[in-house]
Amino acid sequence: MAQQTSIGPELLRYVREFSLREDEILCELRRSTAELPGGESQQVMAEEGQFLAFLVAATGVRDVLEIGTFTGYSTLCMARALPPQGSLVTCEVSERWTEIAADFWRRARVRERIDVRVGAAVDTLEELLAEGRLGSFGLVFIDADKANYPRYYELALRLVRPGGLLVLDNTLLAGRVIDPAAQDADTAGIREVNARIRDDPRVDVCMLPVADGITLVRRR
């Protein structure tokens, strides 16, 4: 039976040669982020950004929710894929990152599509529900602090419409999910959300062993 292909530097270059469509604005944002402390490890892979844009365009969603902005690479990818009247709400705990992101969004001419909410993401999600956004988003991307993934999942499931998608990043957490010695809060959060999704009759699920683990969840 075929197994997951091991992606080394040469094969990754091949993938990027034949698939990746990263323009100069995205390239510059990725390079700038890589120079920040911990920037390279926190930023989504370029291929994942393109995958998110593909999902937005293929599903035709008009309202996207992102939990975890960082410097806005994935935000930019998804905002570009939205239809002209589409909008994206993105949650970030630090203005330091959103200020960096906003410059690139403006240059890409998508800033007006992006609603930035700065603060604790759980509070922001509760505020969205209070604003009447129950079941209003077509796609939710979760890529924030891992310890809170179970809470983000439950709130996101209320905010996404029936038939809509949740996309959870880092659901393999560099293999720590299967390491008995890994008992930190982040690993515990990922293990809990993975088990919760597996047993959840409200959703369909597909966990992909790519990047650091990407889980697709469809609300029934």
pLDDT of the chain along its 220 residues, tens only?
456 677 889 999 999 999 999 999 999 999 999 999 888 888 999 999 999 999 999 999 999 999 999 999 999 999 999 999 999 999 999 999 999 999 999 999 999 999 999 999 999 999 999 999 999 999 999 999 999 999 999 999 999 999 999 999 999 999 999 999 999 999 999 999 999 999 999 999 999 998 899 999 999 9
Q: Give the pLDDT confidence score for residue 30 in this predicted structure.
A: 95
Q: What is the pLDDT of residue 116?
A: 98
pLDDT at 72: 97
In a domain, 4, yes or no: no
Is there a contact between 29 and 76 (Cβ–Cβ < 8 Å)?
A: yes
- Torsions phi, psi of 166, nearest 5? -110, 140
Sequence letter at residue 119: G
- Residue range(s) defining the domain that contains residue 128: 9-219
147 in a structural domain: yes
Query: How far, in Å, CA of 139 to CA of 60, rounded?
Result: 10
Structure tokens at 116: 């930035």
Intra-chain end-to-end CA distance of the chain, in Å: 31
pLDDT at position 3 is 64
Identify whether 3 is part of a domain.
no
Q: What pLDDT does residue 1 have?
A: 41
* Residue 2, in any domain of the structure: no
Rounded Cα distance between 165 and 7, Å, is 27
CB 164 within 8 A of CB 138: yes
Total domain count, the chain: 1
Query: Residue 15 is encoded by which pair of tokens?
Result: 């993938």
Is residue 176 included in any domain, yes or no?
yes
1 within a domain of the structure (yes/no): no
Distance, in Å, from the CA atom of 217 to the CA atom of 106, rounded to the nearest integer, reads: 31
In a domain, 115, yes or no: yes
Domain holding 181: CATH number?
Answer: 3.40.50.150
CA atoms of 7 and 212, how far apart (whole Å): 12
Gap between the Cα atoms of 139 and 156, Å rounded: 9
pLDDT score, position 2: 55
Quick check: is 182 in a domain? yes
